[in-house]
Structure 1
Amino acid sequence: MSVIVTDAGFGPDGFNAGFAAPGEQLPGQGVDVPNDADVVAIFDTVKDAAVIRIPFPSSADGRGFSIASRLRDLGYKGTLRAQGHVIAEQYRKARGSGFDEVEIDDTLAARQPEPQWKPVQTQRYQSKFRRSA
């Protein structure tokens, strides 16, 4: 079972259309984009997906953050979902790189309950630096 983490807290997975590989999805279906994908090369095949899900095989593997950021830079407007070993301390980084939600398993949700995932409202370093200059 999975728990979806958003700024509103924990919730069920409301996306039931399923996930496919880039280029294999049906209209309305989500796409699983590997965390080592060449985003520019596959963008035309994923740009219209309702949800793009990017795996995090371990909390030490940050490639998914770069992929999410690049997808947003290329103009992706749908939902970006991080899936797997994202821990509560990484939630702010996930949101800052373009993710809308994080999918975790029940075991991680029990180990790191909902209050630990509340987003911290802080200013980004660059915006704070620019104002003081």
Structure 2
Amino acid sequence: MPLLDRNGTKIDAWTRSEGSGVDNLSQALVPWEALTEALQQKTRDQRIGVVIPNNIRIAELKLVLRQLSLIAVSFPAYSDGRGFSLAKLIRNHGFTGTLRASGPLIADQFAYALACGFDEIELPEASAARQPVEQWLKAAGQISHGYQRGYGDSHNILDQRRTARAAGRLAAS
């Protein structure tokens, strides 16, 4: 599956393990169900990542956040936006590792995914074939500011308007 970030395509350095077996893997990506056992087997130099469903409760996940280097949030469909909310919660709970969206997203969602805290997107082959990398990169640059606070940069439109009004009142007085 193709992997891309804000700079374009990239090589996936992580090895997927279908179970909890992480022997001889420097960077192992395991399913949520196998995470506990994989963390018990982990050696000091190993990095562990986990693939999670987009409906997992943050209370369950936050217990292991500090032990993870990568979290891949599964998107079953591009129309299922729960992964965006989950990404924001994961970042708000202090996760500083790599956050990956995994599933059939569309290029129009790229800027929002980055703003929610995702570092990269892993696409199914069919999705990547429909929308080339250039389309994703163009879409990422289409939105420079959002209305919500706390996404991406702190220059949301509402705060900019509030600052401009305050500056206008100060200049008038």
What is the TM-score of this pair, normalised by structure 2?
Answer: 0.71
| Structure 2 unaligned residues grouped into runs of 5+ | 16-26, 149-155, 163-173
Calculate percent identity across the aligned residue pairs: 33
Residue 123 of structure 1 is matched in structure 2 by: 145
**Counterparts in 2 of 1:97-108, with a 5 A limit?**
97-108=116-127
Counterpart code for 1:116: Q
Alpha-carbon distance in 2 for matches of 1:19, 1:107: 22
**Counterparts in 2 of 1:16-95, with a 5 A limit?**
16=15, 17-20=27-30, 21=32, 22-26=35-39, 27=42, 28-95=47-114
Q: Which runs of 4+ in 1 moved over 6 A?
A: none
Residue 7 of structure 1 is matched in structure 2 by: 6
CA drift of 1:44 comes to 1.4
Alpha-carbon distance in 1 for matches of 2:85, 2:38: 23
Conserved? CA contact 1:3–1:106, under 8 Å: yes
Classify 1:65/1:112 alpha carbon distance in 2 versus 1 (closer, same or farther; 3 Å): same
CA drift of 1:7 comes to 0.6
Higher relative contact order (CA 8 A, sep 6+): 1
**More strand by percentage:** 1
Alpha-carbon distance in 2 for matches of 1:43, 1:52: 12
CA drift of 1:91 comes to 0.6
Counterpart code for 1:87: I
What is the CA RMSD across the aligned residues, in angstroms?
A: 1.5
Counterpart code for 2:161: S
Q: Which moved more, 1:16-25 or 1:98-107?
A: 16-25
CA drift of 1:29 comes to 1.6
Residue 19 of structure 2 is matched in structure 1 by: none
Alpha-carbon distance in 1 for matches of 2:68, 2:78: 26
What is the TM-score of this pair, normalised by structure 1?
Answer: 0.90
Conserved? CA contact 1:25–1:31, under 8 Å: no
Q: Which moved more, 1:41-50 or 1:86-95?
A: 41-50
Question: Which structure: larger Rg?
Answer: 2
CA-to-aligned-CA distance 1:11-36 (integer Å, 9 cap, x gap)? 22122323222434334121112111
CA drift of 1:99 comes to 0.5
